[in-house]
Amino acid sequence: MKMTQFKGLTAVLTGAGSGFGLEVARIAARHGMNLAIVDVQQDALDKAQAELIQLGAQVLAQKVDVSNAEQMAAFANAVKARFGAPHFVFNNAGVGAGGLVWENSVADWEWVLGVNLWGVIHGVRLFTPMMLDAAAKDPNYQGRLVNTASMAGLLTPPNMGIYNVSKHAVVALSETLYQDLKLVTDQVSASVLCPYFVPTGISQSHRNQPTALATQKPTKSQLIGQAMSDKAVGSGKVSAADVAQLVFDALAQDHFYIFSHPKALGTVQTRMEDILQIQNPTDPFVHKPEIGEGLRQALRAKG
């Protein structure tokens, strides 16, 4: 199912105040789509709304915590009342977090899984029925859900386990959603976006942490993970705008997997081969041993 005509259609985008979400919204606005956008950061949301209206789009903007079932349900009802069933749902809101997996607190887990996984779950469970209902009533209706995961949803890099867990779950959810939809309709489908290191605001996710986390002293491994993430994300050569265009290219080509860095799939292949050959996981730093050695030394250093 290829989607190539967007004028007059409706797009729902979470995490639309910055990064991938905002860039996808900009392209959607230029295509003449109606936009329903949410973000947890009010100033970023207001700025995005003003820009998208300036581009000529009809915009519904709400401050929403995507991990909150009641807030997401209210948003979904508002979308239906304003625009009807959406044609494109971009479950994109996400936060980053690192550190040795046993050092993450319950609050860390609840925050990261709440946004990265439950945010996607809410988007899927609330909007898919609307889209299927629209498809049943209109043979010309087409819809697509695009869930933002990460290459970390296909790999297991160390010192960022809590993030890996959330993104692996999003990949599994998206693949299952794709197969489930195939059972019941030819008019609604799904895709999963797996970006690698792209300069967005995700490495600074702590700016939107709940109060309980904001006052929690980070562990040594978390500080090291934050520094590594800042460096890797900041040095990315593929922009958020590039990735947003890849999303629309995927819609036009009916692609399920959307990758910002296809060359990184070599490491995914290595992981799959380890599983198939029933052998221990390959050192993730085998091609860049100096990075692995630096991380080991930093984590083992006293103080």
Provide the β-strand partners of residue 60. 36
Q: Which tokens sit at 143?
A: 């819809």
Q: Residue 225 has what pLDDT?
A: 86
194 close to 264: Cβ distance less than 8 angstroms = no
pLDDT, tens digit (0-9, with 9 covering 90-100), for 112-123: 999 999 999 999
Candidates 149, 127, 115; CA nearest to 12 is 127
End-to-end CA distance of the chain: 56
pLDDT, tens digit (0-9, with 9 covering 90-100), for 27-47: 999 999 999 999 999 999 999
Q: Which tokens sit at 6?
A: 């967007």
Provide the β-strand partners of residue 63. 39
50 close to 68: Cβ distance less than 8 angstroms = no
Dihedral over Cα of 175, 20, 10, 80: its sign: positive
Among the CATH numbers 3.40.50.720, 3.40.50.2000, 2.40.37.10, 1.20.950.20, which is that of 10-264?
3.40.50.720
Q: Residue 229 has what pLDDT?
A: 76
235 close to 300: Cβ distance less than 8 angstroms = no
User: Within a 13 Å sphere around the CA of 237, how many CA atoms are in the beta-carbon half?
Assistant: 1
Q: What is the pLDDT along the chain (303 residues), one digit of tens a residue?
A: 789 899 999 999 999 999 999 999 999 999 999 999 999 999 999 999 999 999 999 999 999 999 999 999 999 999 999 999 999 999 999 998 899 999 999 999 999 999 999 999 999 999 999 999 999 999 999 999 999 999 999 999 999 999 999 999 999 999 999 999 999 999 999 999 999 977 655 545 555 667 666 667 889 899 988 887 777 666 667 889 999 999 999 999 999 999 999 999 999 999 999 999 999 999 999 988 999 999 999 999 876
Dihedral over Cα of 52, 12, 71, 109: its sign: negative
34 close to 8: Cβ distance less than 8 angstroms = yes
Kindly provide the residue ranges of all beta strands, DSSP E only, lying in 81-142, ordered along the sequence: 88-91
264 close to 284: Cβ distance less than 8 angstroms = no
59 close to 52: Cβ distance less than 8 angstroms = yes
pLDDT, tens digit (0-9, with 9 covering 90-100), for 227-268: 877 776 666 678 899 999 999 999 999 999 999 999 999 999
Candidates 74, 84, 57; CA nearest to 48 is 57
CA distance 269 to 282: 11
CA distance 284 to 158: 8
pLDDT mean across residues, the chain = 92
Q: Residue 203 has what pLDDT?
A: 47
Does the pTM of the predicted model rise above 0.95?
Answer: no
